[in-house]
Amino acid sequence: MSKIIISCKNCGREKYHNAKGLCRTCYKKLNGRIIICKDCGNTEKHEAFNLCRKCYLKWKSKTILGVLNNIYNNMKYRSKLNKRKKILTKKQFLSFAATSNFNDLFLTWKNSNYKFKYHPSIDRINNKKGYVKGNLQFLTCSENTKKKLDDDVDNGHRIKMIKDNKIYYFSSMKSCSRFLNKSQEYTRHIIEKYITSSLNITELIKVSQQEYKNNLYLDPTL
């Protein structure tokens, strides 16, 4: 039986047909239940709820449990990074969230059409202590950033950007990258002059914390 040459539904290349409208490489890569994702419309391996993995994780990150899981994973990462041994168990953390203002913050974030500055975040009341009982509170990302400004040393990681003849300031490379919808590596490469941006950015530099605080009103994420 002769093989049929098709235009693969996944990669679009002219190749021999393997199964389900896919070439051998794509079928092997997407082995499992193949669907057309109801969100992005791509032909991908099914993850859940008729969504591909990327869209499923994006959807999950906007659920209460998804947000809490991400916050707790970040807590564990920071504790390990700063060599703090004491941290709430996940069960204790979820119990704390259930009796706190987390649900109110989550609804505010949802009603704002998921604007980052309203995203719930965890804050240590006393930064010298770890993520322990009695030292935690939920704040929006905007409130958390403003609070940290009083505690942080001048680490030179505040960002100034001039784009389309407008001046912006950011509290971190991460928030700047999120505003540009680019990776942190892309932002860092522009700052370090490795690449030239095609986004009408005429200046992107690190500035002192004092300069950032003096121009706080120009931070679009707050």
Q: Is the pTM of this model over 0.85?
A: no
Same domain, 69 and 133: yes
Which amino acid would we find at residue 51?
L
**30 pLDDT above the threshold of 80:** no
Is the pLDDT higher at 61 or at 209?
61
Q: Which domain holds residue 47?
A: 5-59
Residue 168 corresponds to which tokens in the numbers above? Answer: 């912006």
Same domain, 67 and 123: yes
136 pLDDT band, cuts 50/70/90, is: very high
Same domain, 72 and 131: yes
d(Cα 179, Cα 112) in Å, to the nearest integer?
Answer: 16
Overall average pLDDT of the 209-221 stretch: 83
Same domain, 67 and 145: yes
Same domain, 68 and 140: yes
**36 pLDDT above the threshold of 90:** no
Same domain, 86 and 37: no
- Tell me: the pLDDT tens digits for 161-177? 888 889 999 888 888 88
CB < 8 Å & 24+ apart, contacts of 119-124: 119/67, 120/67, 120/71, 121/71, 122/71, 122/74, 122/75, 123/147
Give 151: exposed, middle or buried? Use CB within 10 Å, 0-12, 13-18, 19+.
exposed
Same domain, 141 and 71: yes
Same domain, 120 and 163: no
Count how many domains the chain has.
3
Backbone phi, then psi, for 153, in 5-degree steps? Answer: -85, 170
d(Cα 70, Cα 100) in Å, to the nearest integer?
Answer: 17
Same domain, 99 and 171: no
